[in-house]
Each structure stands twice: as C-alpha cells, then as structure tokens.
Amino acid sequence: MMPKLYIQPLTFAPSPQSVEGPDEMPGAIRIAGTMCYAREFALIVRSNAGHVQNRQIVAAPDVAAALSRLPDPLIEDGERQWSNLRMAHVPLDLHFGDGTHRTVRLDQPQVMGILNVTPDSFSDGGTFDDDVETAVSRGVDMLESGAAIIDVGGESTRPGASTIWEMDEVRRVIPTVERLAAGGAAVSIDTRKAAVMEAALEAGARLINDVSGLQFDPRSADVAADSGCPVVVMHAPGKGDDLHAGAKYQNVVLDVFDELRARRDFALQAGVRRENLILDPGIGFGKSLADNLALINALPLFHALGQPLLLGVSRKRFIGALSNEAAADARLGGSLAVATMALDMGVHILRVHDAAETVQAMHVWRGLRDGALTDFSQMTR
C-alpha cells in the first residue's frame, strides 16, 4: 500500500485577477468551473499507515512545480487531482419521456428541493405521506421558488429508522413522481433500492439519489448505469440496513475522501458515465458533530475527485446541537449559514427543505460574486 496524496484548496479570492502571480499570471484558479477562486493549496501526503506525514502550503502558480518534486508514485495522481480541481463540469442532461431534454447548469449553484413522502422522516415525516395533492403542491411551490430539481423520497434514513419493503416504498413515491414529472418537473428519486429506481424512472424521474452509494442493492449500479441519468453517490459508513453503523475514522476528511473515490471508481466501472456522476460526502451519516464540522470545513478538497458535488445539510442534527437543541423545523438559520459557506467552497447542488429561502440566499450570494468581479475590473481601469 503506497502513500496517498491530497490537494486541498485553502484560501480563496474574489476573482483570479485580484491576486497576481509571477509574470503577470493570475494568482488564483477557478475551482471546478464554479464562481470560486482558490489561491493557496495544501499538498498533503498520507503514509500507508494512514498518518499525515507531510503537509506543505503552495500558491496556485507553484502547484505544478511542487507536484513534480513529489516521489514518483504520487506525481501522476497529483497531476490528475490538480486537473480535476480546475475542471469545468458539463451541464446535467435530463432526457424526458416525450423526447425533450433539459439541462441543469453547473457553472452556477443549483437547489434541489427535498420532498419526503414518508411518515417518519426526521424533519417533515408524515407531512406529505398520505396526501398526493399536498405533496405535489409542495413540490410545485419549490419549483416556482427556483429549485431546479425535486428529490422525492419514500424511506427515512434517519438513525434508527426501519428499512421498508421496496413495494411499500414504490407505493409511496410513484403517484407524486408521476404528477410532478407530468408537469415538466425535473424529479430525482431518493432511494437505495433498484426496484424503486426502476419504477420511479418509468414514472418520469430523471435523476437517482442513492444514499448508500450504490452499495445496498446489488442491482442498483446496473440500473443506474442503464438509465443514462445523473446519479448521486453518497458516502455512508453502513453497508447494510443501517447506513450509520460501523463508522470508524482515523482522519474523517481523508477517510471519506478515499471512500468516495472508491465509490466513484465503482460507479464508473459499472457503466455510469462520468458526466452523470455526482458525489455527496454524506453529512450526518455515521458522523459525529466534530466529524461533520471537519468535513464541511474541508469541502473544497472533494473537488479533486473530479465530479460535481452535492451537499445535504438542511435541518441536520448537528445544526440543532450548535443551536441549543433547536427542533428540526427551527433550524432554518443554521441551514442557510452552512449553505452559504458551501457556496463559497464551490458546491454545485444544495439539497434543502427550505427551497425559497435558500434560493434567495443563493441569489444574494451570486450578486455579491458578480459584484466582486465587476468592482475589480473597474478598479483596474
């Protein structure tokens, strides 16, 4: 087992031109095709025993030279990660049953609205499970507020939740998926079961969001690959019914990075096209408060995996832990705080309960980013 390399963006600038490098080169690079620009990077070498054995801080113009001085086994992977960090991701291409298609751009952040049609989800369980009209109305409201995608789920994955029979899950989700898709919505199916994926795709869903990282159901990877749809692969430590079980981290950030890299490679080998693969670090799944905070603070590192990033932190338990144990439906402020920080770090898709409020925060963030670019160009005239 060889040492491993990680390239973590550390400090950011409002534009590439605002920080000059040598010979009038830009002193910051654009991260993952987003509106975020990084100027300094940590090159981290981890021993085969799992310990960080070297960490150096390198300015953007000097990264290529620093990589060339690494031990030979690390250079190729370092160059690949450096290329991934600068990669602009193509839009998600969603094909609909009537022959039309829609794209979801990834050069600007997008919002995925959460629609749980379950009796026991941690935040809104029971709100929409028995009333399709109410669920569809909620989905339409999120779309009208600016959400690009509606993520429909029929099984709670909160700690302690019971796994349900796949046909019960199908019964829960299909009426809502059908109605929203028929109205032209881009619908994602939030499931870890192949049969539910197949039924939802038949009903009009055009994305798959598997919180097990295609590990729970042996058929799910083939279904995801054959669908030709975008697929979200999330990190969770549990391999069976309980996705939160078995968590053991030596370094949570680097361990999750390694495990997501393995899930990425598995999905690609199964036939999921690279342009269709989205990664999610799985905040709250088998992770302590300290683990969650460490992962959120290190989010830019995950761009080195070369895939768009989705983040689901809305109303999560760690927000309550930092907010005098606020109830799940009273965590809007904390959810928006983390969402805005994620935008600063180049996250492409935010998966949220409060779509309208998050879209508004995102628009203000976008305005500030545009203003920073405009202000700099005016100051240099």
Taking alpha carbons only, the member of 360, 307, 316, 310 closest to residue 335 is: 316
Q: 14 is written with which tokens?
A: 């409002």
Q: 336 is written with which tokens?
A: 């928006």
Residue type for 306, please?
A: G
Contact 136, 336 (CB under 8 A): no
SS3 state at 313: coil
Query: Which of 316, 317, 331, 369 does the annotation list as catalytic?
Result: 316
* Strand stretches in 47-119, DSSP E: 52-59, 92-95, 101-104, 110-116
* Strand stretches in the chain, DSSP E: 4-13, 29-30, 37-46, 52-59, 92-95, 101-104, 110-116, 149-153, 187-190, 207-210, 231-234, 277-280, 310-311, 349-352
Question: How far from chain centre, in Å, is Cα 241?
Answer: 22
CA distance 182 to 349: 23
CA distance 114 to 137: 13
Query: Which of 4, 317, 351, 369 does the annotation list as catalytic?
Result: 351
User: In the annotation, is 351 catalytic?
Assistant: yes
User: In the annotation, is 287 catalytic?
Assistant: no
CA distance 281 to 292: 10
Please identify every residue annotated as catalytic: 316, 351
